[in-house]
Amino acid sequence: MLRQRKLADRWRAAGREIARACAAETVMSTVDPSLVAHLPLFAGLGGDQLAEVLREARSARHAKGSEIFAQGADAQSFFLLLHGHVRASKTTPSGEQIVVRYVVPGETFGLAMAIGLTRYPATATAVDDSVVLAWPTASWPRLVEKFPSLATSTLQTVGGRLQEVQTRVMEMSTQQVEQRIAHALLRLAKQSGRKVEHGIEIDFPISRQDIAQMTGTTLHTVSRTLSGWEQSGLIESGRQRIVLREPHKIFLLAERGADNDGPSR
């Protein structure tokens, strides 16, 4: 746990350095390998190997609310998020919007080629001002042939996300909506939580509509549930801001036994 906290602190410091460069409109033609060497994608790479992999990438800044790629578009690149947050969302054939997951700094996304797809299965949108590294998808076969650890790291990432999807499917099938909302908040806090005076703040802008799209329920139900929790002192919420004041009590809500009536919306 201590090691993870030190890595998180190191990455936040690196993210601030990257953000300052972007704010100053500095062109990052290359990225300092020391800023990213500890990330899972680069596990097993030596210094010279990492520098070679990074030379294949280009950096790009995406303003808050801008689209990085669209569902169904040709998967021309894969990405590493350096700074900011990215929302992956999917539109169903009936037009319903589903938030698949949030990407935090240090994570890869747009890995269509790793699961044999030629088009992006979801849309990626910058939740706040974000900086990414992008590699051409065409370079993937050559990179993994030369550096097999890249393939290993990517498959571990994909495997972890498939497990996450399976967990969410089980929640949707077996849990009451209050449990699903609690699980969603706990996942977000674990993924991108920041310790503040009154609890743990989800460290990026998130709306009640986003939570509804994550949990397969309605905006009205999410608003009613979060308002009740706020009145009980479990959370604080504002405009696209949520603080978990009592994470343990939210955990108990998430883990309680489902009612016999089955899941509700």
* Domain span including residue 227: 175-255
CATH of the domain at 217: 1.10.10.10
Does residue 241 share a domain with residue 133? no
Examine the fold and report which residue of 129, 164, 199 is the final residue of a domain before the chain moves on. Answer: 164
Q: CA torsion angle for 33, 20, 79, 122 (degrees, to 10)?
A: 160
The reply to whether 113 falls in a domain is yes
Distance, in Å, from the CA atom of 147 to the CA atom of 44, rounded to the nearest integer, reads 9
HSE toward the beta carbon, residue 198, CA cutoff 13 A = 11
Is residue 156 located within the same domain as residue 53?
yes
Q: Are residues 201 and 147 in the same domain?
A: no
CA dihedral for 88, 253, 8, 154, sign (positive or negative): negative
Residue 81 backbone phi and psi in degrees, to 5: -85, 120
The residue with tokens 């706020």 is: 230
Are 30 and 157 contained in the same domain? yes
Q: At what angle do helices 148-174 and 177-192 cross, to 10 degrees?
A: 150
Domain tally, the chain: 2
Q: What is the identity of the amino acid at 135? A: W
Which residues have a Cβ under 8 Å from the Cβ of 179 and sit 6 or more positions away?
Answer: 171, 253, 254, 255, 256, 258
Task: Please answer whether residues 124 and 173 qualify as being in contact, where contact means their C-beta atoms are separated by less than 8 angstroms.
Answer: no
Q: What is the C-alpha separation between 220 and 215, in angstroms, rounded?
A: 13
| Segment (H or E) for 163 | helix 148-174
Same domain assignment for residues 136 and 230? no
Question: Could you tell me if 93 and 60 lie in one domain?
Answer: yes
Angle between helices 208-215 and 219-231 in degrees, nearest 10: 110
Q: Largest Cα–Cα distance of the chain, in whole Å?
A: 59
| Per-residue tens of pLDDT for the chain, all 265 residues | 334 444 445 555 555 555 555 444 444 456 778 888 888 899 889 989 999 999 999 999 999 999 999 999 999 999 999 999 999 999 999 989 999 999 999 999 999 988 889 999 999 999 999 999 999 999 999 999 999 999 999 988 989 888 998 888 888 888 899 999 999 999 999 988 889 988 999 989 999 999 999 999 999 999 999 999 999 999 999 888 999 999 999 999 998 844 444 455 5
pTM comes to: 0.84
If asked whether residues 137 and 221 sit together in one domain, one would say no
Kindly state whether residue 199 falls inside one of the protein's structural domains: yes
Q: What is the CATH number of the domain that holds 123?
A: 2.60.120.10
